[in-house]
Amino acid sequence: MVRLTRRSLLAQGAALAALPRPAFSMLGQTNAHIIDMGNAAYFDRDRARPDLDATDGCTRDNHDFYETLARSGVDTVIRYYSDQNNANLNCKNVTRRERDMLHDHGLSLAIVYQFEGRKKNRFTGDRGSRDAQFCLERARVIGQPEGSTLYFGVDSDAQLNTDQGVLDYFRAVNRVLGNRFDIGIYAAGARCRLIQNAGLASRFWVPEAPAWAGTHAYLNSGDWHLFQNKTNINLNSVTDGHGQPIHIDTNIVNPDQTTTIGAFNRDGSIRTYDRQRLTAIADARYWVNGDKATVHRSPGDPEVAHICVARTVHVTGIYGEWAEVDIDEDGLPEGYTRLDGLTPLRQMPKWRRSSCKLMDI
């Protein structure tokens, strides 16, 4: 992963001065402001003790990290309800303590239920009833307000579970929750479309999995609400340097569909976003439309990084035939790539197998 230094920033500034006047420059105004985290940021997470309850070994708050989130423009964190913690995510289940901590830093909270999402034949009517009851209890414990959104993760491609099983699951979820919570789905495009057509959810969140069934068509339809555009970020200026490994994903709202994802504030009100800001954020995200887009510290320099087909970059400026790009979603550009290798967010290219390997970010 390319890291920016004062020297490299000065070099980029010199290269910038030699290029044509930018068509736009949006650095600092178009950063992703919604993240999801599989684990809370605690200093005393005990990875060796997955049997511990979420409140044990998850008590020393990493306030520095949450302050960094707020300063970087993040205003919403999506966290998890999960049947149990595990060796890698032993603070996965959000607690009331964490809710208060997030609100103390001005961050709203959204909730997704996810457990064994990639288990074959997991999604059935019976399991939907049990999961919804579990979520009701977790909502009571943390004080999730009625009217906010509960997303349910179908975190697998289509072949692991039947359409009928997924339909039965969401019918059961609707029966148990009634009208108490807004229901959302986190799933491949084909599953979002299935549940949308059946009228069983009102919010549709698509993972960063461009090869999954129906995702290309669904994103290009414009019917989605939230897109998880970058996953497993752990080396950028937001996540790095906080005394522990922290991993985040970033998400983009579809401004043509909504101004809220159903997150809630301390007082129980639903967080809404400025549509103009959402549009600017979406307009600054581009797809790689070739097998690989190479990134150069300055135009014409050797490659310092790359992005694979059907993955997004944050374009922070356009200079003639070159786009200045932020590839790890911290708002700081890593370099330049050819503009003709990119297409706007509303025009997702089809994913295809290639020799391009995803980089750690």
Do residues 164 and 218 both lie within one domain? yes
- What is the rounded CA–CA span in Å between residue 54 and residue 319? 49
CATH of the domain at 226: 3.20.20.80
Q: Is residue 120 part of a domain?
A: yes
Do residues 129 and 11 both lie within one domain? no
DSSP, collapsed to helix, strand or coil, labels residue 164 as helix
Do residues 124 and 87 both lie within one domain? yes
What is the DSSP secondary-structure string of 185-215?
EEE-HHHHHHHHHTT--SEEEE-S-TTSTTH
The residue out of 279, 305, 323 marking a domain boundary is 279
Q: Is residue 268 part of a domain?
A: yes
Confidence (pLDDT) at 6: 36
CATH of the domain at 323: 2.30.30.40
Q: Is residue 72 part of a domain?
A: yes
The residue out of 279, 298, 320 marking a domain boundary is 279
How would you class 5 by CB atoms within 10 Å of its CB: exposed for 0-12, middle for 13-18, buried for 19 or more?
Answer: exposed
What is the pTM (predicted TM-score) of this model?
Answer: 0.90
* Residue in 83, 141, 62, 78 with CA at minimum distance from that of residue 112: 78
Helix (H) or strand (E) holding 315: strand 312-319
The residue out of 228, 245, 279 marking a domain boundary is 279
> For 215, what's the count of Cα atoms within 13 Å in the CB-facing half-sphere?
27
Do residues 178 and 59 both lie within one domain? yes
Count: domains in the chain:
2
Do residues 101 and 12 both lie within one domain? no
Do residues 141 and 65 both lie within one domain? yes
Stretches in the chain below the pLDDT threshold 50: 1-27, 47-55, 87
- What is the rounded CA–CA span in Å between residue 166 and residue 169? 5
Do residues 12 and 133 both lie within one domain? no
Confidence (pLDDT) at 5: 44
Q: Is residue 350 part of a domain?
A: no
Do residues 140 and 50 both lie within one domain? yes
Confidence (pLDDT) at 57: 65
Q: Is residue 353 part of a domain?
A: no
Token readout for 62 is: 């990493």
Do residues 167 and 311 both lie within one domain? no
Q: Is residue 86 part of a domain?
A: yes
Do residues 15 and 74 both lie within one domain? no
- What is the rounded CA–CA span in Å between residue 354 and residue 335? 23
Q: Which regions of the chain does DSSP assign to beta strands (E)?
A: 34-36, 76-81, 108-113, 149-154, 182-187, 203-206, 226-233, 248-253, 285-288, 292-296, 303-308, 312-319, 322-326, 335-338, 342-344
Do residues 38 and 14 both lie within one domain? no
Do residues 261 and 190 both lie within one domain? yes
Q: What angle is formed at CA 161 by the lines to CA 157 and CA 167, rounded to 5 degrees?
A: 110
Confidence (pLDDT) at 89: 57
Confidence (pLDDT) at 24: 45
Domain that holds residue 292: 6-28+284-344
Query: Look-up: residue for tokens 């995803």?
Result: 358
DSSP, collapsed to helix, strand or coil, labels residue 313 as strand
Q: Is residue 327 part of a domain?
A: yes
Q: Is residue 351 part of a domain?
A: no
Token readout for 63 is: 């306030």
